[in-house]
Amino acid sequence: MNDDCYINEKKVPIADLGKWLPAVAESSIDQLGGYCEAVLCFDSKDQPLGYILQ
């Protein structure tokens, strides 16, 4: 499994994303005009919104 996520230029294991970002449903990000890449979701200005619920 690829565990390469970075927050503020620090490597963060996927299991610890909940300490930094809220869990979100991909459908709610789509409704906000954002997008998801791998497990991370961003708004239309490329700011992080959360990570996808697994």
pTM, full prediction: 0.76
In tens digits, the chain (54 residues) has pLDDT values of 556 688 778 888 888 888 999 999 999 999 999 999 989 999 999 999 999 977
State the pLDDT at residue 8: 77
Distance in angstroms (rounded) separating the CA atoms of residues 8 and 12: 10
Residue 15: per-residue pLDDT: 85
- For 38, the token pair is 């791998």
As beta bridge partners, residue 24 has 52
